[in-house]
Amino acid sequence: MDYSLIVIVVIVAALAFDFTNGFHDTANAMATSIATGALRPKVAVGLSAVLNLVGAFLSIEVAKTISGGIVDELKITPAVIFAGLVGAIIWNLLTWLVGLPSSSSHALFGGLIGATWIAAGADAIHFAKVVEKVLIPAIASPLVAGLVATVGTFVVYRITQRARQEVVGKAFKSGQVLSASLVSLAHGTNDAQKTMGIITLTLISSGSLAAGSSPPIWVILAAGAAIALGTYLGGWRIIQTMGRKLTEIQTPQGFAAEATAGAVILASSHFGFALSTTHVCSGGIIGSGVGRRLAEVRWGVAGRMVLAWLLTLPAAAIVGAVAAAIATKGDWGTLLVGVAGVGIAIAIYLVSKRNPVDPNSIAEQRPEPIPAGVA
């Protein structure tokens, strides 16, 4: 099938976003397993990459929500979608630079909504669907995951309190391999689909697909491969935050947090809720800290994470809106937005080299001591 140049550019940008989504969200699945020593860093990201690719083929419900639920696909153009993607990518890279586990999903939604609003007006946004499929899950999912992880962690420690701790640790390390794998699989069923939905939306808006179409098989494969590659390269800065700085994690906690997150994400994917896997996994980790002992959670770090969550959608929307205002002026506008996006991405990468975080430094770190009296 013949595609115009702008459609090809948008597809490339969507896969670039998918790549950043992969390395931004690797921590969701593997941070706790790396922190407890259940998996070596490079083994963890390799396993997560494979399972993300597999998960991409298990469902398309979330992709259908993105391609036909958030905005009116008949009122926007590929240039508008491109502008939204630029907003999402820039926010992903900024939060990666500072090691904050913000939501790649909400960055995507924010960029797309901001760009659509500027280009086609508020009527082109399905606000009821945004509330139902995005905002409500954004609030409910971390609370549910946190509550279940709290109860699960408490119960696990009560059951195993009389057992030999070395036996308990060994058993739960094995369990963590399975629970982390579940989260990686679930991540593929939810986050990889968002890029599938964006590419499908682009094809529909350009007239290459009929309205309401499901993602073609090549779109599923490309999106799964892009997120898997990003996952394999590993977002070590965010792994450091979620695995080392948020709470001290022992193997029973890690298992409870991962099992809870995996179950919540898989259930949401089944119903087409485009939730944030970052919110779910962070909620599970915090819940596991509360379930073991309240003072185990570093609430200052948690507070900065929540602030990033609150800023993500509107910040990406603003960048997407500015990009759309330029991109919709014509081909020169789209080119200018693309060049600016690439320039900002390169600048962020160069800044990150001043303070590198890699698998070796992650493996050598020990949990930071928690000051007395922190609650």
> pLDDT digits over 27-40, tens only?
667 777 887 788 88
pLDDT at 210: 84
149 or 73, higher pLDDT: 149
**Is 80 exceeded by the pLDDT of residue 336?**
yes
Range name among 131-140, 182-191, 290-299, 348-357 with the lowest pLDDT average: 290-299
Per the model's pLDDT, the better-predicted residue between 75 and 15 turns out to be 15
Structure token digits, residue 316: 């990406």
Output the pLDDT for position 225. 92
Report the pLDDT value the prediction gives residue 369, as an integer from 0 to 100: 42
Q: Which of 138-147, 249-258, 295-304 has the lowest mean pLDDT?
A: 295-304
Q: Which residue has the higher pLDDT, 1 or 193?
A: 193
How high does pLDDT run on average in the chain? 82
Give the confidence band of 371 by pLDDT, cuts at 50, 70, 90: very low
* pTM of model > 0.85: no
4-21: average pLDDT: 89
pLDDT at 293: 66
Better-predicted residue by pLDDT, 249 or 148: 148
pLDDT tier at 351 (50, 70, 90 boundaries)?
very high
Give per-residue pLDDT as tens, 193-242.
888 888 988 888 888 888 778 888 999 999 989 988 988 876 777 777 76
Identify the weakest region by mean pLDDT among 47-51, 60-64, 180-184: 60-64
Average pLDDT over residues 157-171: 79
* Of 243 and 61, the one with more pLDDT: 61
Range with the poorest average pLDDT among 48-52, 171-175, 256-260, 354-358: 354-358
Query: Where is pLDDT greater, at 294 or 187?
Result: 187
* 248 has a pLDDT exceeding 80: no
Binned at pLDDT 50, 70 and 90, residue 270 comes out as confident
What's the pLDDT at 373?
36
Q: Length of the chain in residues, anyone?
A: 375
Q: Is residue 317's pLDDT more than 50?
A: yes
Q: Which range among 113-117, 160-164, 279-283 shows the weakest confidence by mean pLDDT?
A: 160-164
Span 68-79, average pLDDT:
80
Over residues 327-336, mean pLDDT:
88
Over 70: is that where the pLDDT of 365 sits?
no
% of the chain with per-residue pLDDT over 70: 89
